[in-house]
Structure 1
Amino acid sequence: MTLVLGGARSGKSRYAEGLIEAQPGPWLYVATAQGWDDEMRERIAQHRARRPPPWVTADAPRDLPAVIRRAPPGRPVLVDCLTLWLTNVMLDEAADLPAATDALLESCRAAAGPLVLVSNEVGFGIVPENALARRFRDEAGRLHQRLAALADRVVLVVAGLPMILKGDHA
């Protein structure tokens, strides 16, 4: 399992796609984004256009653990991105965030093939002015710490350059 962290437009998604494409296909792209507005729908379309066959896309805005568990044995899986998943879970008033996070970690532990997780590192900025944004930043940091402890490799991507924080070079 590889955790790829980085800021917005850091190159983390392209880097993660390269890790998966180094494996035999077909590859499973697990998308957590939701097209709430025109701009987000355009971003989603651009990402999809960048991934022709043998990429297969599965949408998992909330039930990410189930999609990871259902991946065929040996199939390389790319999840992009965990901070969108976290946002979706946090905004779902019926969701139990600790249980959802535990389920995600368990599905990662049990993954039956190569797994690459992409997430935004949001802890480098200023302290947000509102409680929800501060809670999101804190929850993302806790999630990243737990996943980094579990991961074989952790990579921080800055300006398109990967910095290996844990594990070997890909």
Structure 2
Amino acid sequence: MGKVILVTGPARSGKSEWAETLAMESGKAVIYVATATDNPDDEEWHQRILEHQKRRPQDWVTLSVPVELSATLADAKPHTCLLVDSLGTWVANLLEQDDQSWENLVVEFLETVDLVAADMLFVAEEVGWGIVPAYPVGRMFRDRLGSLVRRLSSLCDAVYLITGGYALNLTVLGSPLPTSKDLIQN
């Protein structure tokens, strides 16, 4: 199994830049897995995507994967480093899934992550630190992303929180919470 790293934090905190730094330091061929799709009618979104593209080295391969993330990870070669940016966008792309379908996708994703021989870096937004969203779809997004990040972190070799201009390695500074599986076994 390859190394699995999660980079999380608030908007504009430098999550992607830190993940890009770690990808470069891997010494492996980097495949940038973009979960966002460009919308030329949304100038601000288009500019954000261009900002990310300009930072990437020319030799990185970019794949646009708005939905089929597990299949893309499963196809990765051991000598590569996949940088998935971002899980929040992936969750947003799949909000129309009912709860059972979403759970099936999450289980498939986590099982795939656990088996892939390539290094993988995941970028995820922290969305649960503010007010509770007023609309059901906002609450669903926040809850699904928060749960996904927590479940993924239990498979990670390192989890970084980016805030205030610093990358904090939570796997060094913190203690993992027990998973529901741990609680059932005890």
Q: Normalising to structure 1: TM-score of the pair? A: 0.92
Measured in 2, the distance between the counterparts of 1:35 and 1:148 equals 28
Q: Which runs of 5+ in 2 are unaligned?
A: 174-186
Matched, 1:78 2:83: yes
Instruction: Determine the C-alpha separation between the residues in 2 that align with 1:76 and 1:59.
Output: 16
Residues of 1 paired with 2:172 and 2:113: CA distance?
17
Unaligned regions of 5+ residues in structure 1, if any? none
How many Å separate the matches in 1 of 2:118 and 2:68? 19
Aligned to 1:14: 17
Runs of 4+ in structure 1 over 4 Å off: none
Counterpart residue type for residue 15 of structure 2: K
Shift of 1:38: 2.5
Q: Is 1:25–1:55's contact at 8 Å kept on the other side of the alignment? A: no
Indicate the SS of the match to 2:146.
Answer: helix
Whole-angstrom CA distance in 2 between matches of 1:124 and 1:167: 22
Aligned ranges 1:113-132 → 2 under 5 Å: 113-132=118-137
Amino acid in structure 2 at the alignment position of 1:5: T
Q: State the Cα deviation string for residues 64-122 of structure 1 (Å, max 9, x = none).
A: 111111122220111000000000011467x9211111121122111212111000010
Q: Aligned pair 1:33/2:36, yes or no?
A: yes
Conserved 8 A contact 1:11-1:159? no
Q: What fraction of aligned residue pairs are identical, expressed as a percent?
A: 38
- In structure 2, the residue matched to 1:23 is 26
Aligned letter for 2:60? W
| Partner SS for 1:76 | strand
Aligned counterparts of 1:73 and 1:164: Cα–Cα separation in 2: 25
Measured on the aligned residues, the alpha-carbon RMSD in Å equals 1.7
Please show how residues 22-101 of structure 1 align to structure 2 within 5 Å. Answer: 22-36=25-39, 37-91=42-96, 96-101=101-106
* 8 A contact 1:5–1:157 mirrored in 2: yes
Q: What is aligned with 2:181?
A: none
Deviation readout 1:122-151 (Å, 9 max, x if unpaired):
011111111110111111111011001111
Q: Mark the structure with the bigger radius of gyration.
A: 2
Q: Which secondary structure does the structure 2 equivalent of 1:87 belong to?
A: helix
**Aligned partners of 2:29 and 2:79 also within 8 Å:** no
The answer on whether the counterparts of 2:7 and 2:124 sit within 8 Å (CA) in structure 1 is yes
